[in-house]
Amino acid sequence: MIRVELPAALRALSGAGREVAFELEPPVTPRAILDALEARYPVLRGAIREFGTERRRPLVRFYACRRDLSHEPLDAPLPDAVARGEEPFLVIGAIAGG
Amino acid sequence: MSGVRVLVGTRKGAFVLTADGKRDRWTVNGPFFAGWEIYHLKGSPVDPDRIYASQSNGWFGQQVQRSSDGGKTWEPVGKEFAYDGVPGTHQWYDGTPHPWEFKRVWHFEPAAGDPDHVYAGVEDAALFESKDGGLTWSELSGLRGHGTGPQWTPGAGGMCLHTIVQDPTNPRRLFVAISAAGAFRSDDGGRSWKPITKGLRSKHIPDPTAEVGHCVHRIALHRSRPNVLFMQKHWDVMRTDDAGDHWREISGNLPTDFGFAIDVHAHEPETVYVVPITSDQEHFPPEGKLRVFRSRSGGNEWEPLTKGLPQRDCYVNVLRDAMAVDTLDACGVYFGTTGGQVYASADAGDSWAPIVRDLPAVLSVEVQTLP
């Protein structure tokens, strides 16, 4: 079971809880997680990744297992602990603004 | 008894303020979309319970919200604003070509006749429309493509299409304004466009009378006289009597002709309101006195309206989309400030009182007059 934590703004937007959990076939990658997340919550399309390019939005970060994975390729496999559900995949709004 | 509904967009959410026709006791609802920037909300002229709201922030981008019950409940609708074809480039601040990139919706203008038809003005400047209630959006690309687009440059606030005015007697005629490109008119429902800037003079561009490059802040008209437009430009208050073909300055005796907001009395087409702001560097009222100026002669002669407004130590701004009027018999005038106040006048500006004092910075104010 994959676990994803969303920031407060996206929880309010989507109605999702703090943590979203779902099954995912391997390989478990950021793209696979985001595709599944957006399928469950279509309002999140464009909010984490840009429309068209599917690039991570500049002020969004992906963390897992105490690592910043934001600059890893979207198709790079995530740590086993994330794939096993032992650690969540964190979607973070970067510290910016007031 | 008739009433009014004031739709307020702020830096950190939306608020809906309601009152009966006396406009002296208000109910404040909100914040809706707390924490998000709400650049603009506006209701349909044919179905006032249909309201569109632009919700955005720097982290998570653009959302579009739609209400079908007057702002009580909302649903997210389409938010994909894809430029038509290859977007091309406009000029960047340093003069180099820069690709068009969507950033946010500044303004919604629900069309006359159909609550599902709505226009959206966006940054980087372009005009979109939806004919399915906001579910899908398509660009009216004749605006960017009419020829001057590559010359457009952003103003300090970005290159935004912030003003959309539909001729109430001819829905195929549209006016838009862009910072810092100028004003444009379409006579075929937005398919083709031409600049309407003859008579504008802007010292901040190399050729002060160039066809494009003027930083138009806001345009307003009276529905009974759609060929007469009033404009608050970066500097100068302007007027045209021929739908933009020729403009003339009407700043007259204003203490400063810099400002953002401008609007027209609901029943007196020659009565115009502006809120003078000191300068492009000092975005606050002259002398720390918050004054609305009213002309009852279509410009040039202006009177300060001060009763109920702070007349000392006031250093707020009133942004371009933050003034509106109702259509009750005694025309109501409303404006919001970057200090979070929303002021209302139920007597056409003679006296003012705050509806609320402590909202987040106000980005936009729209008013609906309800039966």
| DSSP-based three-state secondary structure for B350 | coil
Q: Give the Å distances, CA to CA, from B334 to B29, B142, B362.
A: 17, 34, 12
B332, amino acid identity: G
B83 contacts on A by Cβ (under 8 Å): none
CA count, 13 A, side-chain hemisphere, B171: 10
As to burial, measured by CB atoms within 10 angstroms (0-12 exposed, 13-18 middle, 19+ buried), residue B86 is: exposed
Rounded to 5°, angle at Cα A89 from A88 and A94: 125
Cis check: omega of the bond before B261, within 30 degrees of 0: no
Q: State whether B63 and A9 contact (CB < 8 Å).
A: no
Q: How far apart (Å, rounded) are the C-alpha atoms in residues B245 and B233?
A: 16
* pLDDT confidence of residue A21: 97
- The range of the structural domain enclosing residue A13 comes to 2-93
A55 at interface of B, judged by CB pairs closer than 8 A: no
What pLDDT does B240 receive? Answer: 98
A87-93: average pLDDT: 97
The pLDDT, as a whole number, for residue A97 is 58
Interchain CB distance below 8 Å, B63 and A43: yes
Predicted local distance difference test score (pLDDT) of residue A98: 52
Q: What share of chain A is helix, strand, coil (3-state, %, to 5)?
A: 25, 20, 50
**Which residue among A7, A51, A97 places its CB closest to the CB of B80?**
A51
Alpha-carbon torsion angle B101, B102, B108, B109, nearest 10: 40
Residue B306: partners with Cβ closer than 8 Å, 6 or more residues away: B289, B290, B291
Residue A49: give its domain's CATH number: 3.10.20.30
- Which run of H or E residues covers position A36? helix A30-40
Q: What angle do CA B279, B105, B61 make, to 5 degrees?
A: 110
Q: How far is B35 from chain A (nearest CA, A)?
A: 8
Helix, coil or strand: residue B53: strand
* pLDDT tens track for A45-70: 999 999 988 999 999 999 999 999 99
Give the three-state DSSP class for B143.
coil
Which of A13, A37, A55 is the mutation pick for testing B, counting most B CBs within 10 A? A13
Structurally, how many domains does chain A consist of? Answer: 1
ipTM value greater than 0.85: yes
Q: Which residue of A has its CA nearest to B55?
A: A13
For A44, the closest chain B residue by CA position comes to B60
* A86 within 8 A of A79, measured Cβ to Cβ: no
State the amino acid at position B67 in one-letter form. S
Q: Domain total for chain B?
A: 1
Say whether A52 and B79 touch across the interface (CB within 8 A): no
> What is the model's pLDDT at position B93?
87
Can you tell me the distance from the alpha carbon of B351 to that of B81, in angstroms, rounded to the nearest whole number? 42
Which pair of tokens denotes residue B305?
């309206």
Q: A43 and B34 in contact by Cβ < 8 A? A: no
Nearest C-alpha in B relative to A41: B76
Distances (CA, A) of B312 to B77, B275, B288, B343: 44, 16, 5, 16
Residue A31 counted as domain residue: yes
Which of A34, A41, A43 to probe by mutation at the B interface, max B CB count within 10 Å?
A43
Structure-block tokens of residue B159: 């290159």
Strands B182-186 and B37-43, how do they pair?
unpaired
A38 is a domain residue: yes
In a domain, A60, yes or no: yes
Instruction: Give the torsion through C-alpha atoms of B348, B352, B276, B218, to 10 deg.
Output: -60
Q: Determine the Cα–Cα distance for residues A6 and A56; give it in Å rounded to an integer.
A: 15
Find residues 60-79 of chain A whose CB sits inside 8 Å of chain B. 60
The whole-number pLDDT of residue B53 equals 98
Residue labelled with tokens 């999140």: A44
In A, which residues are within 8 Å of B82 by CB distance?
Answer: 51-52
The torsion angles phi and psi of B130, rounded to 5 degrees, stand at -125, 140
Give the CATH number for residue B33: 2.130.10.10
Decide if A98 is inside a domain: no
The answer to whether the CB of B166 falls within 8 A of the CB of B112 is yes
Using alpha carbons, select from B167, B137, B319, B33 the residue that is nearest to residue A8. Answer: B33
Low-confidence ranges of chain B (pLDDT < 50): none
Contacts of B60 in chain A (CB under 8 A): 9-10, 13, 47-48, 57, 60, 93
B66: closest CA among B42, B84, B46, B89? B42
Which chain B residues are Cβ-neighbours of A9 within 8 angstroms? Answer: 35-36, 57, 59-60
Model confidence at A94, pLDDT cuts 50, 70, 90, reads confident
Chain B residues lying within 8 Å of A6, measured CB to CB:
none
CB B84 within 8 A of CB B138: yes
Residue A80 domain flag: yes
Tokens in use for B23?
Answer: 């406009």
| Residue type for position A39 | A
What pLDDT was estimated at residue B1?
58
> Residue B46: which domain range?
3-370
* Contact between chains at B58 and A51 (C-beta distance less than 8 A): no
User: Do the Cβ atoms of A51 and B82 come within 8 Å?
Assistant: yes
